[in-house]
Amino acid sequence: LLPLTGYIRGGCSPIGMKKDYPVYIEETALLFDRIAVSAGARGVQVKLNPEDLIRYVNAVPCEIVK
C-alpha cells in the first residue's frame, strides 16, 4: 500500500487523499445513520453519515459483499 499510494496500512482514508482514486462503498452502508471510516491515521476513525461521505469523495455505492 505504501509504495502505491503513500499511505500506511490502517491509515488509508477516503477523505483527503493525495490522488484522485476511485472510491467504492458497500451499498448496505446506506442503511445506517452513521458509519466509521479511517481518519487518516492508524487507529483513528471518524463517524459520519454515509450519504455525506459519498457526496464528499464522489464514492460509488455498489455491492461489494455477497
Instruction: Output the average pLDDT for the chain.
Output: 90
Q: By the 8 A CB rule, do 8 and 42 touch?
A: yes
pLDDT value of position 12: 79
Q: What is the pLDDT along the chain (66 residues), one digit of tens a residue?
A: 788 777 777 777 888 888 888 999 999 999 999 999 988 888 899 999 999 999 999 999 999 987
Q: How far apart are CA 28 and CA 21, in angstroms?
A: 21
Residue 50, burial from CB neighbour count under 10 angstroms (0-12, 13-18, 19+)? buried
Provide the CB-side half-sphere exposure for 4 (13 A, CA): 5
pLDDT value of position 62: 97
pLDDT value of position 26: 96
